[in-house]
Amino acid sequence: MRKLALATAILALTLSQLEGQTQTPRTSRIAGHPNFNGLWQAMTEANWDILAHGARPGPAQFGALFSEPAGVGIVEGNEIPYQPWAAQKQKENFKNRWTADPEAKCYMPGLPRASYMPYPFQIVQGNKDILFVYEYASSNRIVHMEKHSEAPVDSWMGWSNGHWEGDTLVIVANGFNDLSWLDRAGNHHSDALTVTERYSIMPGTGGNVLNYEARLEDPKTYARPWTIRMPLYRRVEANAQLLEYKCVEFSEELLYGDLKKKGS
């Protein structure tokens, strides 16, 4: 709760500075570093499946409404190097995905999934720490740029320590629980996951496109580290803003429906 309160306070202090920033290409710098302030969103099908995949049907009773679009994938080499037990678990997750996916329950998305869900997120960058605010489930995280420390407890969004390598923002996140998935296809990780993210401005885009890379290491689940890559696009429409999407009430029947008294 204290982490959430701090994040909310930082966001409140910076909102006035951010008005209108999403409409203007950003090539300026903050404390000598690229300015990533703004609203960003991935344009991929990775939230359905981070690997290349064809279109798939949804539950039959909904027709085409919840069918899954095809995607080229974002995984380098199009392979997740699962250990044998983990590959079997992914198959079980996929089979039960319509009710077992944490997204269906409005749980926080974890990393790197928060970066490629079909919702925007906002980067609030000052002279020191950096705040990421995600529309989905009102999730957020603070990137500690100066006072690096260990995660006090395991959590959905983990613990992020950051530094600059030239003009690239590098974030090392760990301290995750083992409950989040990487996509709706049931790709998963354990509590030993470390995600090393790299954000940099794509040349020739006026500051409106970021190159995003994430290296995943998890010796409990994967045979070796592996990497995802994709662009992130700035939302530049005149009324672009981060809206509220608190989905808990939408998942109550799924989570607690079996606790209802019969006939109620």
- The structure tokens 């992914």 sit at 90
Task: Answer yes or no: pTM beyond 0.85.
Answer: yes
Alpha-helical segments (H) within 55-105: 84-95, 97-100
Shortest CA distance to 205 belongs to which of 230, 232, 228? 232
pLDDT tens for 29-68 read 999 999 999 999 999 999 999 999 999 999 999 999 999 9
- pLDDT above 70 (res 86): yes
Band the pLDDT of 263: cuts 50, 70, 90: low
Summarised one tens digit per residue, pLDDT across range 141-158 is 999 999 999 999 999 999
| Average pLDDT for 68-89 | 98
Tens of pLDDT, residue by residue over 191-215, are 999 999 999 999 999 999 999 999 9
What does the pLDDT average to over 107-118? Answer: 98
**Rounded-to-integer distance, Cα 68 and Cα 118, Å:** 13
Q: Which CATH class is domain 2-56+68-236+244-258?
A: mainly beta
Confidence of residue 128 (pLDDT cuts 50, 70, 90): very high
Q: State mean pLDDT over 133-143.
A: 97
* Type of residue numbered 197: E
Domain boundaries, the chain: 2-56+68-236+244-258
User: Is the separation of the CB atoms in 44 and 51 below 8 Å?
Assistant: no
- In 3D, which of 134, 60, 137, 69 has the Cα closest to residue 98? 60
d(CA 206, CA 210): 10
Q: Which residue has the tokens 């974002």?
A: 74
Q: Mean pLDDT across the stretch 153-173?
A: 98
Helix, strand, coil percentages, rounded to 5, for the chain: 25, 30, 50
What CA–CA distances, in Å, run from 200 to 23, 25, 77, 161, 207? 19, 15, 22, 17, 9
